[in-house]
């Protein structure tokens, strides 16, 4: 079973994060829902815990399943991450060439968030595991740096503590929330030193959400009218929470999103039917690519606008916003047009990345896992036949 409604949510959240990263002053980027869209990353974590529980928990029955599981996860996440990292490195090389000819930016090439020392940690997906205190290179990749290792922890828990799965997940979620509350200066806006615990909090809330849904499916279906009311309430809760939340209130984010995932997993209300529209489902397919390329588009745009301002002799006015600088292009209405054009560019690039990198690499990784499992199974069957083939006289 595929939760197509949740695919629609994933796509909308990815696009919201992409708009959040755009360095533009506009009516759209000024909306509270967009200014706090960094919270939707926690929605991704909850969704990951939910979906991985649904797809892989039944398969993780013995230790031989750990390696195939992790190969699938790396095949899903790593290739596109490394490809985008390579483009960022090429951009920094271009910056180095420009500096050689006297065109210097505010930061020297291969320094700060683009330091050479962070390349290897990014390649091995450990940059957000305490090696860097802030996001580096493709800043959005900090989340998959934590999620890949949380996935391994999840597999080990399912394999060795399945009987106590709910209790263990409650403990991990509660402990992670406590650590974030006590140690992270920005609470849930943790994308560096405390990022692992932010991911763990959301992920294990997602696992708990799926445990509840699986039990609910066994006990009966929800009334359609109740489903409609629940969906409207969930959308309202998400809208209000993301728009107005700040500081320690962000700690309830995974719980809000977890409840929403439970509600929409039923797929029986009118909003679910809307989210199952072909465009939104396609947006869900592209969500990971959107998430991975959006900051690349934002960085290129920022550098391009700075360069254009220098060439025109009249730099664009710059204001500070949540994660950096935002450019005012004449007025906010022009900014709105630029945001829409940027979204179209993100979707176009994401579609190319999805078709040329994400899907082929995922298919290759999954096929490789299947071949390895078939060889392992054949080897086990051959070993089981050996005693039967030994003559009794020899025994």
Report the mean per-residue pLDDT for the chain.
Answer: 91
CA distance 292 to 80: 8
What confidence tier does 192 reach under pLDDT thresholds 50, 70, 90? confident
The region, left, alpha or beta by phi > 0 then psi within -120 to 50, assigned to residue 220 is left
CA distance 257 to 241: 10
CA distance 385 to 379: 10
**Residue 190: other Cβ atoms inside 10 A:** 23
CA distance 263 to 276: 15
pLDDT tens per residue across span 120-176: 999 999 999 988 888 999 999 999 999 999 999 999 999 999 999 999 999 999 999
Question: Does position 394 have pLDDT exceeding 50, yes or no?
Answer: no
The two structure tokens encoding residue 290:
């959107």
Per-residue 3-state assignment (H helix, E strand, C coil) for 328-351 = CCCCHHHHHHHHHHHHHHHHHHHH
pLDDT tens per residue across span 223-254: 778 889 999 999 999 999 999 998 999 999 99
Question: Does position 319 have pLDDT exceeding 50, yes or no?
Answer: yes
Q: Do residues 44 and 292 make contact, with C-beta atoms less than 8 angstroms apart?
A: no
**Residue 359: other Cβ atoms inside 10 A:** 14
pLDDT at 395: 40
DSSP code per residue over 186-218? TTT---STTHHHHHHHHHHHHHHHHHHHHHHHH
pLDDT at 309: 84
Could you give the percent of the chain with pLDDT greater than 90? 72
CA distance 329 to 305: 9
pLDDT at 218: 58
What confidence tier does 45 reach under pLDDT thresholds 50, 70, 90? very high
What confidence tier does 106 reach under pLDDT thresholds 50, 70, 90? confident
* 174, 215, 312 from 147: Cα distances, Å: 18, 26, 44
CA distance 94 to 37: 31
Q: Which residues contact 361 (CB under 8 A, 6 or more apart)?
A: 75, 79, 80
Question: Does position 365 have pLDDT exceeding 90, yes or no?
Answer: yes
* pTM for this prediction: 0.93
- Listed range (17-31, 209-223, 326-340, 375-389) with the worst mean pLDDT: 375-389
pLDDT at 393: 47
| H or E, element range at 154 | helix 142-161
The two structure tokens encoding residue 23:
């360095």
């Amino acid at each position: 079973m595929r939760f197509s409604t949740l695919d629609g949510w994933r796509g909308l959240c990815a696009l919201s994060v992409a708009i959040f990263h755009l360095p533009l002053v506009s009516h759209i980027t000024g909306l509270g829902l967009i200014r706090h869209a960094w919270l939707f990353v926690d929605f991704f974590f909850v969704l990951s815990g939910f979906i991985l529980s649904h797809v892989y928990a039944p398969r993780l029955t013995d230790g031989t399943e750990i390696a195939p599981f992790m190969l699938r996860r790396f095949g899903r996440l790593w290739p596109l991450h490394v490809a985008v990292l390579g483009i960022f490195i090429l951009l920094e090389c271009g910056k180095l060439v420009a500096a050689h000819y006297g065109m210097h930016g505010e930061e020297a090439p291969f320094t700060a968030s683009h330091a050479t020392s962070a390349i290897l940690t990014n390649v091995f997906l450990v940059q957000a595991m305490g090696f860097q205190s802030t996001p580096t290179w493709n800043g959005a990749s900090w989340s998959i740096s934590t999620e890949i290792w949380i996935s391994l922890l999840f597999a080990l828990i399912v394999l060795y503590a399945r009987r106590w799965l709910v209790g263990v997940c409650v403990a991990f979620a509660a402990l992670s929330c406590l650590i974030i509350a006590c140690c992270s200066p920005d609470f849930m806006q943790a994308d560096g030193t405390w990022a692992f615990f932010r991911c763990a909090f959301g992920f294990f809330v997602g696992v708990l959400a799926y445990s509840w849904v699986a039990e609910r499916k066994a006990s009966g279906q929800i009334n359609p009218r109740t489903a409609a009311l629940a969906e409207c309430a969930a959308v309202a809760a998400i809208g209000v929470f993301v728009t107005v939340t700040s500081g320690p209130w962000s700690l309830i984010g995974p719980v809000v999103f977890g409840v929403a995932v439970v509600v929409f997993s039923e797929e029986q209300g009118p909003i679910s039917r809307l989210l199952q529209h072909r465009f939104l489902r396609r947006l869900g397919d592209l969500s990971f690519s959107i998430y991975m390329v959006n900051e690349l588009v934002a960085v290129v745009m920022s550098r391009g606008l700075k360069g254009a301002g220098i060439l025109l002799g009249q730099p664009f006015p710059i204001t500070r916003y949540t994660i950096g600088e935002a450019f005012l292009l004449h007025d906010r209405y022009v900014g709105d047009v630029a945001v829409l054009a940027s979204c179209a560019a993100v979707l176009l690039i994401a579609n190319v990345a999805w078709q040329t990198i994400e899907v082929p690499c995922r298919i290759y990784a999954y096929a490789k896992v299947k071949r390895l499992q078939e060889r392992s199974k054949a080897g086990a069957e051959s070993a089981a036949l050996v005693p039967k083939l030994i003559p009794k006289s020899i025994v």
